[in-house]
Structure 1
Amino acid sequence: MRKAFSGQTRFDCQTIPEVKLNLKCRDEIIPILRGLQHAYSQPQLRDEILDLVGQDVNEHSRNDRGREGLDYWHITVLAAARLGCNLDYDKLQDLAEQHRALRQIMGIGDWQDDIDFNWRRIRDNISLLKPETTEAISHLLVAEGHRLQPDAAKKVRVDSFVVETNIHYPTESSLMVDGVRKIIGLCVDLADDLGLPGWRQHEHLLKKVKQIARQIGGIGARKGPNYMQRLKKPYRQLLKQTRRLLRRAADLCEQALSQGASDLNCAFRTASIKHYVELTQQVSDTARRRVLEGETVPNEDKLFSIFEPHTQLYKRGKAGQPIQFGRLLLVYEDAAGFIVHQHVMDRDSQDVDVPVEQTRALQKRLQNTIEEISFDCGFHSPDNQTQLAEIVPQVCLPKKGHKQSADQKSSASEQFRQARRRHAGVESAIGALQAGNGLERCRDKTELGFERYVALGVLGRNLQTLGKLLIAREDESCHAAFSKRSAA
């Protein structure tokens, strides 16, 4: 049983619009709470947000039956604070239990100690939100910011960066160990439950695989003369052991399905084993092609994590991070600092593939408000230049190459030059998303979790921006409204 929010006034706390925030404090939670307070005080905006949350939370259940759950408003506040302040669930639990202003914004009184904010409960409720829902809430908040500052959407700057997935440095040997370890664990549990033989020596089998992988790691670390030749022997042994285990796992799945053909639990567990067998086989194939056959394997055929298979390798030449493992995130920032649009690119997409489609979608959503947009040279192609000019009146899209860029700059208009100078400011927004909103490295699992994590990070950033805008309108000199960032 859930409700959108509690409209009942209490003796032990103020109503949410009347909560006093410490505007002399520079902590990032103050603008977030101010943004949430403003959203709650606008009935139409609040109801639209809570309707979106309710559709996800009660997608497969009724909101008037069962045990009492967290209110939709509680979930909204906790979701905003999680990456708005770049918190893990333990810290978020502590704030939900101890932070007086946060509890008052949630509508929880000083005498109200019966609400359980265990970190698992918080995680399970926030995980009910779909990435599309979180993005829609962010769009509503951005629209409210544009209502307060109408000219903000006229100028937009665009860039992309890599959000890393939470994986270890991948090598074929380590990934095969990951796959074999997971497969053996699943197979042992399934065989024990069904009383099937063949996995009594599972610890010994895993130990042998790990020993071979350590030999490969030692050779790869020391290198030396002909180290690729010396790698072939242990790789042949590792591939041989892996093939044997994969065959045994496939045989176990067939036996299990023949014994429990109508058991859904058995079908689910065998499907999980087959999933990891398929991924481990893919890694084994790339290892054979690269090490034994000397083939150069393209990134599209490689797997960089058994547990996060959507991860991609990017060589972007960044200082200190020449190689990154994750996914590319495209962001559009307006003149007020709002992230008006974000897009997680496909594994095989690059900057040059996405600007036209995404800009057209954004311009349509903002009802053709954008008058000027800027990119860096990585987005340039002749087709992009032509099509973007049809979508936005003024496009700053530098050409690739020093000579072509210089020729373009010499004949460019003053508006183009100004947009080009201002474009570097988008790096500040990216730095804020990475350092302040957790988008340097995703801490959630699976591709769906990755997309939800990105959407929550952008939501937190937009709430901070809205909160600072509101605080500055009330008192420009207060610390909570201070920002060094320049407008786009």
Structure 2
Amino acid sequence: MREKRITQASIFDVFADHEIGIELQGMSRLLDAHPVLLDFVADDLGSDATTGRCGMTAESALRCAVLKQYRQLTYDELAFHLLDSASFQAFARLPVDWTPRKAALQANIAAIRDTTWEAIQAQLMGTACATGMERGRMWRLDSTVIDSPIHEPTDSSLLLDGVRVMGRLLASAEQLPGAPKLDWHNHHRRAKKRARAIRYTRGQDKKKSLYRDLIAQTRAMLGYLEHSAVPLQLAVTDAAALAAWQAEVAHTTDLIARVIDQTERRVFNDERVPAADKIVSLFEPHTDIIVKDRRDTHYGHKLNLTSGASGLIFDVVIEDGNPADAARFMPMLERHIERFGVPRQVAADGGYASRDNLAAAQRAGVEDVAFHKKRGLPVEDMVRSPWVYRKLRNFRAGIEAGISCLKRAYGLARCTWKGLDHFKAYVWSSVVAHNLVLMARLAPG
């Protein structure tokens, strides 16, 4: 059975007398004070094995995940530092004379779900409030965007991706047990030439003819996949492998059909396709199109974050689509009230300002509500005095520094994990690593 923690830790585990070593030691004490966290992680890892190596303990998997986000390491770099650094070895609580390879690290860290990270965050924040590190009486809110691990999309690049992926699917189909030789031709080379020509060609009429040919190559590859279904169904001897291949084909062809549709609507019909109807990646189809202040366009997900006077991140919500800030003010405040109680003072960016939000917050028991931009709201309606308004407005600005730190030091500018579930886990693990470090710095002595 997989163990939750090493039964006998080494007496020689020491942390370097360095800023990073001291922080790691403080973070280690915080994790040791919350043994229930290992139960959350153990449920995700799981193991019914009774023979052979049972894998990393739940404690080591959690600590290695924190290390990765804390130092923003790749799995290969993490494997090296665990082998090379005494402080990393002491923090990770690995078995004596054994360090995991990058494949083992990736498999164990990826198994920790976003709901588990959220539960870990709730435990840490409960401790911060119980010890007086954070009182939760002052609450501030802001939003940001984290990018998905995709290239900037264009219709031509998406069609080219589709041709390339369908070629891989057809090639893998011929490797299935008992599969016959399929009748198909790979159009990737021609599609690549058309996509490149579209990129460097000026004039809509010239581009339209290139798009027609590129779409024709894409439809030809779709036809090959469709015609291969019957021969494979009759010949393949491994039903499970065939079912998995068919599921992948169904998922991929549905996305490619949507890409063809949006391309034809935009290029040939001169139609403005709504952002909600667009596919921007075949590999990360959950990605949203987020336009910030009519300037920068991001491809990822919008986050709403809340923070307190200590700088700790109370909560983060990964939004579906691009909802207006004003529509998310009360849901975020209600989440905070449910977990930490009613804050005495609230500060938020001007995008959250509305008379309805002000009234709802005051009905919930908040004494002072300050929006960075007044949006026609009198100061005396929001707070007790102009002095209080200035203080809360300055307090709100502090969350900008927190978001900047999360982006620069904890990888929240761009997610590097694939899939929506792993995207959410990446966000929460970054927040947990940030809060662990800050709590270690704020802890007395």
Shared fold per TM-score greater than 0.5: yes
Structure 1 residues 261 and 271, CA gap change in structure 2 (3 angstroms) = farther
Q: 2:273 aligns with which of 291, 294, 297?
A: 297
Q: 2:420 aligns with which of 447, 455, 466?
A: 447
Structure 1 residues 20 and 94, CA gap change in structure 2 (3 angstroms) = closer
- 1:467 aligned partner: 440
Distance in 2 of aligned mates of 1:81 and 1:192: 40
Residue 343 of structure 1 aligns to a residue whose secondary structure is strand
Question: 1:48-92, CA deviations, whole angstroms, 9 ceiling, x for partnerless residues?
Answer: 11111111111xx33766523111111121111111222211221
One-letter code aligned to 1:296: R
Q: Is 1:184 equivalent to 2:167 in the alignment?
A: yes
Decide which moves more: 381-390 or 151-160. Answer: 381-390
Structure 1 residues 411 and 62, CA gap change in structure 2 (3 angstroms) = closer
Contact 2:23 2:437 in 1 (8 A): yes
Distance in 1 of aligned mates of 2:118 and 2:373: 32
- 2:59 aligned partner: 73
Decide which moves more: 253-262 or 388-397. Answer: 253-262
Distance in 2 of aligned mates of 1:283 and 1:26: 50
Instruction: Kindly state the Cα deviation for residue 288 of structure 1 after the two structures are TM-superposed.
Output: 0.4
Distance in 2 of aligned mates of 1:65 and 1:371: 56
Contact 2:66 2:429 in 1 (8 A): yes
Distance in 1 of aligned mates of 2:260 and 2:62: 44
Contact 2:358 2:382 in 1 (8 A): no
One-letter code aligned to 1:442: C
Contact 1:32 1:460 in 2 (8 A): no
Distance in 2 of aligned mates of 1:162 and 1:443: 14
One-letter code aligned to 1:35: M
- 1:273 aligned partner: 249
- 1:256 aligned partner: 232
Q: Is 1:416 equivalent to 2:395 in the alignment?
A: no
Higher RCO (C-alpha 8 Å, min separation 6): 1
Instruction: Kindly state the Cα deviation for residue 458 of structure 1 after the two structures are TM-superposed.
Output: 0.4
Residue 307 of structure 1 aligns to a residue whose secondary structure is coil
Structure 1 residues 144 and 410, CA gap change in structure 2 (3 angstroms) = closer
Structure 1 residues 395 and 267, CA gap change in structure 2 (3 angstroms) = farther
One-letter code aligned to 1:198: D
Structure 1 residues 351 and 234, CA gap change in structure 2 (3 angstroms) = same
Q: 1:197 aligns with which of 182, 206, 209?
A: 182
Residue 371 of structure 2 aligns to a residue whose secondary structure is coil
Residue 326 of structure 1 aligns to a residue whose secondary structure is strand
Structure 1 residues 89 and 37, CA gap change in structure 2 (3 angstroms) = same
Q: Is 1:122 equivalent to 2:105 in the alignment?
A: yes
Residue 153 of structure 1 aligns to a residue whose secondary structure is coil
TM-score w.r.t. structure 1 length? 0.84
Instruction: Kindly state the Cα deviation for residue 439 of structure 1 after the two structures are TM-superposed.
Output: 0.6
Q: 2:199 aligns with which of 217, 228, 236?
A: 217
- 1:485 aligned partner: none
Q: Is 1:394 equivalent to 2:367 in the alignment?
A: yes
Distance in 1 of aligned mates of 2:351 and 2:128: 30
Say what the alpha-carbon RMSD is for the aligned residues. Answer: 2.3
Q: 1:358 aligns with which of 314, 319, 332?
A: 332
Distance in 2 of aligned mates of 1:298 and 1:73: 46
Instruction: Kindly state the Cα deviation for residue 21 of structure 1 after the two structures are TM-superposed.
Output: 4.9
Structure 1 residues 21 and 466, CA gap change in structure 2 (3 angstroms) = farther
Question: 1:432-478, CA deviations, whole angstroms, 9 ceiling, x for partnerless residues?
Answer: 100010010111111111111101100110111111012xx21xxxx
- 2:4 aligned partner: 4
Question: 1:400-428, CA deviations, whole angstroms, 9 ceiling, x for partnerless residues?
Answer: 676x26x4479853333321121111000
Instruction: Kindly state the Cα deviation for residue 392 of structure 1 after the two structures are TM-superposed.
Output: 4.6
Distance in 1 of aligned mates of 2:380 and 2:280: 40
Q: Is 1:244 equivalent to 2:220 in the alignment?
A: yes
Identity over the aligned pairs, expressed in percent?
Answer: 24
One-letter code aligned to 2:128: G
Q: Is 1:430 equivalent to 2:403 in the alignment?
A: yes
Instruction: Kindly state the Cα deviation for residue 397 of structure 1 after the two structures are TM-superposed.
Output: 4.8
Distance in 2 of aligned mates of 1:443 and 1:362: 29
Structure 1 residues 317 and 64, CA gap change in structure 2 (3 angstroms) = same
One-letter code aligned to 2:183: G
Q: Is 1:103 equivalent to 2:89 in the alignment?
A: yes
TM-score w.r.t. structure 2 length? 0.92
Distance in 1 of aligned mates of 2:56 and 2:232: 41
Q: Is 1:39 equivalent to 2:31 in the alignment?
A: yes
Q: Is 1:380 equivalent to 2:342 in the alignment?
A: no
Q: 1:286 aligns with which of 238, 247, 262?
A: 262
Instruction: Kindly state the Cα deviation for residue 209 of structure 1 after the two structures are TM-superposed.
Output: 1.1
Distance in 2 of aligned mates of 1:310 and 1:182: 18
Structure 1 residues 64 and 361, CA gap change in structure 2 (3 angstroms) = farther
- 1:457 aligned partner: 430
Instruction: Kindly state the Cα deviation for residue 165 of structure 1 after the two structures are TM-superposed.
Output: 0.7
One-letter code aligned to 2:436: L
Contact 1:176 1:242 in 2 (8 A): yes
Q: 1:87 aligns with which of 51, 73, 78?
A: 73
Distance in 2 of aligned mates of 1:254 and 1:446: 31
Instruction: Kindly state the Cα deviation for residue 259 of structure 1 after the two structures are TM-superposed.
Output: 4.1
Instruction: Kindly state the Cα deviation for residue 370 of structure 1 after the two structures are TM-superposed.
Output: 2.2
Q: Which runs of 5+ in 1 are unaligned?
A: 475-488
Contact 1:32 1:80 in 2 (8 A): no
Decide which moves more: 189-198 or 321-330. Answer: 189-198
Distance in 2 of aligned mates of 1:98 and 1:154: 44
Structure 1 residues 411 and 164, CA gap change in structure 2 (3 angstroms) = closer
- 1:479 aligned partner: none
- 2:314 aligned partner: 340
Contact 2:133 2:310 in 1 (8 A): no
Instruction: Kindly state the Cα deviation for residue 335 of structure 1 after the two structures are TM-superposed.
Output: 1.1
Distance in 1 of aligned mates of 2:252 and 2:320: 22
Instruction: Kindly state the Cα deviation for residue 395 of structure 1 after the two structures are TM-superposed.
Output: 4.8
- 1:233 aligned partner: 209
Structure 1 residues 21 and 34, CA gap change in structure 2 (3 angstroms) = farther
Residue 275 of structure 1 aligns to a residue whose secondary structure is helix
Instruction: Kindly state the Cα deviation for residue 261 of structure 1 after the two structures are TM-superposed.
Output: 8.6
Structure 1 residues 118 and 181, CA gap change in structure 2 (3 angstroms) = same
Residue 123 of structure 1 aligns to a residue whose secondary structure is helix
One-letter code aligned to 1:313: I
Instruction: Kindly state the Cα deviation for residue 7 of structure 1 after the two structures are TM-superposed.
Output: 3.9
One-letter code aligned to 1:54: A
Residue 167 of structure 1 aligns to a residue whose secondary structure is coil
Structure 1 residues 370 and 401, CA gap change in structure 2 (3 angstroms) = closer
Instruction: Kindly state the Cα deviation for residue 208 of structure 1 after the two structures are TM-superposed.
Output: 1.2
Distance in 1 of aligned mates of 2:276 and 2:94: 50
Instruction: Kindly state the Cα deviation for residue 139 of structure 1 after the two structures are TM-superposed.
Output: 1.6
